[in-house]
């Protein structure tokens, strides 16, 4: 190969690598809200698991998450972008609406189920059959991850739709690995905070104080992550839905631009959260009325009489 050809090839590789790095970083930034909620949901799934099985459970869910992204979602996204790119925006909006619904539904559930704890009759499944309980939690976490990972892949696809195919593949699989390792690495660290605190307290001396602080702060940290994850769902979902409606997006953008520059960031986040809350409330309201179930019963084929 002539030197000029080799230099041109190296320049192309450098350009592709730069594009991949830039688009991956941008996608990671836009999917932060979903990742936060994914982390909170997965950490909650570890509650009740035997201490010695916590890390194996996280590893099992991480493997399922990577399968979701690498085997199901990324290939489906690449195929969709190749044959029906027009469908990406509607699918993104549907995903954003679902995130908004999930965020509002979580808030409604928390507000309306204060008195349902501590009334379970008999031993729980975790006490009766720890292995079955563990398998149930892993399956549930992987199912939830499929939805959240779908949003991550969809948002990432929205950033690379016009890029060369090699860049699309590299960014989609790059973000899949980064998010999976990052999320489940942090989850593993979070659920082991109690162990760290107990170890420091047991060691005694100057380590006991920090250990007690960790033991006292770990539950509060988990609650904070759950709250942040819910708000992030509304923010990300609201932004996606609003961006899919250009007149609304432009109107809100112009209104924010009219504010002092220092308020642009806060106003943008507030607009996203309010948009997500409105969409979520509408969808939760529709779900609570039973309209969808009635419509399905009206249109589904009647069962033949026997």
Note the pLDDT of residue 125. 54
Note the pLDDT of residue 278. 94
Note the pLDDT of residue 119. 47
Neighbouring residues of 203: CB distance < 8 A, sequence distance ≥ 6:
211
Examine residue 305 and state whether it is found in any structural domain, yes or no.
no
Examine residue 275 and state whether it is found in any structural domain, yes or no.
yes
Task: Extract the tokens encoding 141.
Answer: 């976490």
Choice between 224 and 243, residue whose per-residue pLDDT is larger: 243
Q: What is the pLDDT of residues 53-83, one digit of tens each?
A: 778 888 888 899 899 999 999 998 889 888 8
Examine residue 105 and state whether it is found in any structural domain, yes or no.
yes
State the DSSP string of 219-233: HHHHHHHHHHHHHHH
Examine residue 304 and state whether it is found in any structural domain, yes or no.
no
Give me the number of domains the chain comprises: 1
Range of the domain at 153: 8-113+124-299
HSE of 225 in the Cβ direction (CA atoms, 13 Å)? 23
**What's the DSSP call for residue 207?**
G
Examine residue 169 and state whether it is found in any structural domain, yes or no.
yes
Q: Give the highest mean pLDDT range of 197-201, 202-206, 223-227, 256-260.
A: 256-260
CA dist., res. 150 & res. 106, Å (int): 19
* Cα 92 → chain centroid: 14
Note the pLDDT of residue 124. 54
Examine residue 119 and state whether it is found in any structural domain, yes or no.
no
The number of residues in the chain equals: 306
Q: What does pTM read for this prediction?
A: 0.67
Examine residue 69 and state whether it is found in any structural domain, yes or no.
yes
27 — pLDDT class (breaks 50, 70, 90): low
* Cα 47 → chain centroid: 19
Examine residue 2 and state whether it is found in any structural domain, yes or no.
no
Q: What is the pLDDT of residues 123-156, one digit of tens each?
A: 555 556 677 877 887 887 787 778 778 878 887 8
């Amino acid at each position: 190969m002539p030197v000029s050809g080799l230099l041109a090839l190296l320049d192309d590789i450098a350009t592709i690598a730069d594009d991949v790095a830039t688009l991956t970083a941008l996608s990671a930034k836009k999917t932060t809200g979903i990742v936060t909620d994914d982390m909170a949901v997965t950490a909650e799934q570890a509650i009740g698991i035997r201490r010695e099985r916590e890390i194996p459970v996280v590893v099992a869910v991480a493997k399922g998450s990577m399968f979701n992204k690498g085997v199901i979602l990324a290939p489906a996204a690449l195929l969709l972008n190749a044959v029906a790119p027009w469908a990406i925006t509607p699918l993104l909006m549907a995903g954003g609406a679902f995130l908004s619904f999930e965020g509002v539904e979580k808030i409604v559930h928390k507000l309306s189920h204060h008195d349902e704890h501590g009334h379970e009759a008999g031993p729980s499944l975790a006490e009766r059959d720890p292995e079955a309980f563990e398998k149930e939690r892993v399956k549930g976490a992987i199912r939830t991850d499929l939805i959240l990972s779908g949003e991550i892949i969809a948002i990432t696809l929205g950033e690379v739709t016009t890029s060369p195919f090699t860049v699309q593949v590299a960014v989609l699989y790059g973000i899949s690995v980064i998010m999976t390792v990052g999320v489940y690495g942090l989850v593993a660290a979070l659920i082991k905070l109690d162990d760290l605190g107990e170890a420091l307290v047991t060691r005694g001396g100057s380590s006991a104080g920090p250990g007690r602080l960790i033991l006292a702060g770990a539950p509060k940290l988990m609650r904070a992550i759950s709250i942040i994850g819910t708000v992030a769902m509304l923010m990300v979902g609201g932004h996606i839905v609003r961006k899919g409606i250009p007149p609304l997006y432009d109107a809100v953008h112009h209104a924010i631009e009219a504010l002092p520059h220092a308020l642009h960031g806060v106003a943008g986040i507030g607009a996203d959260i309010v948009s997500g809350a409105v969409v979520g409330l509408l969808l939760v309201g529709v779900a609570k009325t039973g309209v969808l179930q009635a419509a399905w019963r009206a249109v589904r084929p009647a069962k033949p009489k026997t």
